[in-house]
Amino acid sequence: MGRRSDHSRDEIRQMALQAAESIVTEGGYKSLSARKVANEIGYTVGTLYLVFDNLDDLVLQVNGRTLDLMVKWLEQRVDIRDRGAETLCRLASSYIDFAEQHLSRWNMLFEYVTDKGNVLPDWYEEKVSRVFRIIEYALPVANNPVDQASDEQVARVLWASVHGICTLRIRQRLDLAGGQTTKQMTHTLIENFLRGRQAT
């Protein structure tokens, strides 16, 4: 078969991304393959390589969309005009809910490691920092910041920590923790951390 022009290049891209997402959602990262995606959208492998540089490129774009979805998810669950410990806890909760709800796609966000030493394109980094900005905003201003860390820095410390709890929990590296839930753990973390930050 030759030229068809059933879909524009961009339509094909969108279809492929959507197909990839459902494949990952159903069977996890490892079940993703070029031929599977191609099949699903009624094209062949060759076409996929007209639209994406390679599979890594496709994965990165899916990950970008996952980040977008995550921002939406958080904004839907937490009023981003709120601040304080309670808000942070709710954000953490929502983050963990997202990870559990979209397990495979969340996993792919971190399983995926580029061959080129983890250097990611700017448009992707931008999406990452959009997530961080939500946390930053919710972080209450400390009365007495003993250490020199700025709010931006503290936001990232705190969020990296929440992420760490989330990761180890989901990868089941924490089930000796005496039966505490991930939410309890993030609560412990945030409460103590903020209290310590206020106090001298």
Partner DNA sequence: TCGGACTATTGAACAATGTTCAATAAAATG
Partner DNA sequence: CATTTTATTGAACATTGTTCAATAGTCCGA
The partner in contact with residue 180, picked from DNA, a copy of itself, none with C-beta cut-offs of 5 to 8 angstroms by kind, is: a copy of itself
Burial of 24 (0-12, 13-18, 19+ CB in 10 A): buried
Binding interface with DNA (CB under 7 A): 1-7, 9, 12, 32-36, 42-47, 49-50, 54-56
Angle, helix 9-27 to helix 55-77, in steps of 10 degrees:
70
The partner in contact with residue 47, picked from a copy of itself, DNA, none with C-beta cut-offs of 5 to 8 angstroms by kind, is: DNA
Q: Which of residues 81-110 bind a copy of itself (CB under 8 A)?
A: 107, 110
In sign, the C-alpha dihedral spanning 150, 138, 195, 141 is: positive
Contact predicate 140/194, CB 8 Å: yes
Task: Indicate which single residue of 9, 11, 30, 82 sits in contact with a copy of itself (rule: CB under 8 A).
Answer: 30
How far is the C-alpha of 146 from the C-alpha of 54, rounded, in Å?
48
Using the minimum distance from each CB to a copy of itself, give the nearer residue, 20 or 194. 194
How far is the C-alpha of 188 from the C-alpha of 35, rounded, in Å?
46
Q: Where are the alpha helices (DSSP H) in 28-54?
A: 34-40, 45-51
- Site membership for a copy of itself, residue 195 (CB under 8 A): yes
Q: Which of residues 152-171 bind a copy of itself (CB under 8 A)?
A: 152-154, 156-158, 160-171
Two tokens at 151? 């709010």
Contact predicate 156/139, CB 8 Å: no
Using the minimum distance from each CB to DNA, give the nearer residue, 16 or 138. 16
The partner in contact with residue 188, picked from DNA, a copy of itself, none with C-beta cut-offs of 5 to 8 angstroms by kind, is: a copy of itself
The partner in contact with residue 56, picked from a copy of itself, DNA, none with C-beta cut-offs of 5 to 8 angstroms by kind, is: DNA
- Site membership for a copy of itself, residue 178 (CB under 8 A): yes
How far is the C-alpha of 88 from the C-alpha of 73, rounded, in Å?
15
Q: Which residues bind a copy of itself (CB under 8 A)?
A: 28-30, 107, 110-111, 113, 115, 118-120, 125, 128-129, 132, 146-147, 149-150, 152-154, 156-158, 160-178, 180, 184-185, 187-189, 191-197, 199
